[in-house]
Structure 1
């Protein structure tokens, strides 16, 4: 594997492993706290924004269902990526010396190119880990970093930041990990996200790295092999050292299958909650017409997945009918897209709706229900933001 063969974080007990989390919200802080083990030479740092002072002064206070209450004091806390890249003394990693760069921010590729954001952190022996919603989130990173191992991760966790620096984990946590080569690619012949005149984040490699077609670039099988090894290390540390029971390290196809299964839920419930005027999950399920609509969106994804992934969902994964039935118990719950809409924040429209449509279309598969929902929700957001910019009523 050439240079990648030497990438063995944790293989040498005398060599410290340095991990940095980009995003210090509830998900990032929880997983960081279960990965920080200085006694085993594994050191975790955080890059925080609005809660930087609280974390730097007092660490992270966690109130968890699984592990009780405890305080996590990171190896270092940085107010920005630039600070983490330029301050080797407080991190111990040195410039571009991060072994793992774990991204847990909201995926908003239509607003910013997070692959460009983390570029100052990525070195020759780094691995990028993406714990984010949606599908196709890996593509901008692969385009920018064609030789860097990427781990794609899907989590199901009930956690929230109740105040700056205080995280509450309400129930179980489950995380799936797998290598990523280029399986979720889609056409880059035109800008993939509506940006107006802003072309930031176009899916083309930048910087002085080999293009994927160059002879020195690693092959997909090499990236998968290296990513699998690094996924297994993370899974081991989170289970054996961190005590998280539900950690699954799988191959690339299995991981993308998990992403598309979670998409069945997210792509149906998230935008529908916004379009229905703010109704919660259980409320929508008990409305006969909305239930038919939700089932239709999920079945469309369910039937398209085998043509996109090359295989269908395994029998153990809940089908649309089971998902709808279990959602009846989810009384009072609002999906994240509705919470963002009500708070006036940008929604994850592209990774939950736009990317699936583009990825499917690139493989000759049309999803008219999902495309309709995508067009409407994207338009709602654009209209509201235009009115806000013009000073009009929302």
Structure 2
């Protein structure tokens, strides 16, 4: 792969080769960020891969009702029913492949799903919850730039093709080379396939990554190229899309952001399910549940310096709210339900591995046990397995 093929494309520089971006997952988050990135007048064309809402999007586009930008209609460059359709009927190259589906590594390998879309000029962008979500993509595409992203947004799809953005637009972007090597205690030993793992986190890659018959791509190149692509997306979202709070970090900084969001997700998501369906504010106001939530967050807080090799939330106080500040803020968010509870109530698979299983395994590989998080993981995973067995008529 030539160095030129990995460079970020310049919109408008070559009118015969516009920038083509495809979002894999046309839910609320994907549709909102796609709508702020689609600028045909600047030769930036955004397409969507949709499933349940495919018909609505092809007929009417996306109807957005936003707190930040008013109401408007987003008409994508194209809408495809599958990645295979986007590969066969698309523009012939995808500069950015942005994945906004739920991270369900125990159910499907989304890195295999997007394989037909990835070409020599592609960059993969992952806007997903949890930690360790990047590693399957790095293992499958060792020489492809990857941008890892964390978003703080309140948005929902109220009906097929209609998205309401309630609060926040913040998104953090950073390169990913091989940080998920934190998932194993050895560069040479694979992740064990025993009782404490289902293989959702793959073995780490060596410090020099070989891409089939091509010359090796080192981690510095991946980080440099990924950072350039992250900056390009940030520029488009800011200067063209009007999103003010787009933040670009280096790789360790972005992973720190991921683990900070995990403090919130890992505490509130499973607890909402296990508490019988209580919302975030309701849990934060209950004395015993509040103590429990704070304990989960503190456990992650204390594990992070060892897991991330010295990185600490305290190093960036202006960005990293502590457990008590998070709880006080949550008290005001009356009526909000975390995504895991919404999935549980709808009978959908939950992001158990990305939010709970992966961090437990990654920390354990660094010699850190997180008993509170492991307890939540074991119980929620069991609840899901029992319900699915019952639905299939199986025995417990």
Same fold (TM over 0.5): yes
Q: What's the counterpart of residue 345 of structure 1?
A: 348
Q: CA deviation at 1:127?
A: 0.3
What's the CA shift string for 1:268-298, capped at 9, x where partnerless?
Answer: 0100111111111111122211111111100
Distance (whole Å) between structure 2 residues aligned to residue 284 and residue 59 of structure 1: 38
Of residues 66, 70, 73, the one that matches 2:72 is 70
In the superposition, relative to structure 1, how do residues 358 and 214 fare at CA in structure 2: closer, same or farther (>3 Å)? Answer: farther
What's the CA shift string for 1:226-249, capped at 9, x where partnerless?
Answer: 000000000000000000001001
The TM-score with structure 1 as length reference comes to: 0.91
- CA RMSD, Structure 1 to Structure 2 (Å): 2.3
Of residues 140, 145, 151, the one that matches 1:155 is 151
Written as runs of structure 1 = structure 2, the 5 A alignment for 1:201-240 is 203=202, 211=210, 216-240=215-239
In the superposition, relative to structure 1, how do residues 122 and 192 fare at CA in structure 2: closer, same or farther (>3 Å)? Answer: farther
Q: CA deviation at 1:134?
A: 0.6
What SS class does the counterpart of residue 66 from structure 1 fall into? coil
8 Å contact from structure 1 (residues 4, 226) kept in 2:
no
What SS class does the counterpart of residue 105 from structure 2 fall into? coil
Q: What's the counterpart of residue 274 of structure 2?
A: 275
Q: What's the counterpart of residue 391 of structure 2?
A: 388
8 Å contact from structure 1 (residues 193, 350) kept in 2:
no
Q: What's the counterpart of residue 20 of structure 2?
A: 18
In the superposition, relative to structure 1, how do residues 192 and 108 fare at CA in structure 2: closer, same or farther (>3 Å)? Answer: farther
1:301 has 2:310 as partner: no
Distance (whole Å) between structure 2 residues aligned to residue 165 and residue 392 of structure 1: 39
Written as runs of structure 1 = structure 2, the 5 A alignment for 1:1-394 is 2-3=2-3, 6-10=6-10, 13-14=13-14, 15-88=17-90, 93-94=91-92, 97-185=93-181, 186-187=183-184, 188-191=190-193, 203=202, 211=210, 216-309=215-308, 310-313=310-313, 314-316=316-318, 317-390=320-393
What's the CA shift string for 1:137-165, capped at 9, x where partnerless?
Answer: 10110111111000000001111111111
In the alignment of these two chains, the number of paired residues is 381
Distance (whole Å) between structure 1 residues aligned to residue 162 and residue 23 of structure 2: 17
Q: CA deviation at 1:45?
A: 0.5
8 Å contact from structure 2 (residues 191, 201) kept in 1:
no
Distance (whole Å) between structure 2 residues aligned to residue 213 and residue 383 of structure 1: 42
Distance (whole Å) between structure 1 residues aligned to residue 353 and residue 211 of structure 2: 25
8 Å contact from structure 1 (residues 110, 194) kept in 2:
no
Distance (whole Å) between structure 1 residues aligned to residue 225 and residue 216 of structure 2: 14
Consecutive unaligned residues of structure 1, counting only runs of 5 or more, are none
Q: CA deviation at 1:172?
A: 2.1
In the superposition, relative to structure 1, how do residues 149 and 389 fare at CA in structure 2: closer, same or farther (>3 Å)? Answer: same
27-36 or 276-285, larger mean C-alpha shift:
276-285
Q: CA deviation at 1:183?
A: 0.6
Distance (whole Å) between structure 1 residues aligned to residue 195 and residue 122 of structure 2: 28
8 Å contact from structure 1 (residues 27, 159) kept in 2:
yes
Q: CA deviation at 1:8?
A: 2.6
Q: CA deviation at 1:6?
A: 4.9
8 Å contact from structure 2 (residues 11, 42) kept in 1:
no
Q: What's the counterpart of residue 187 of structure 2?
A: none
Consecutive unaligned residues of structure 2, counting only runs of 5 or more, are 185-189
Q: CA deviation at 1:349?
A: 0.4
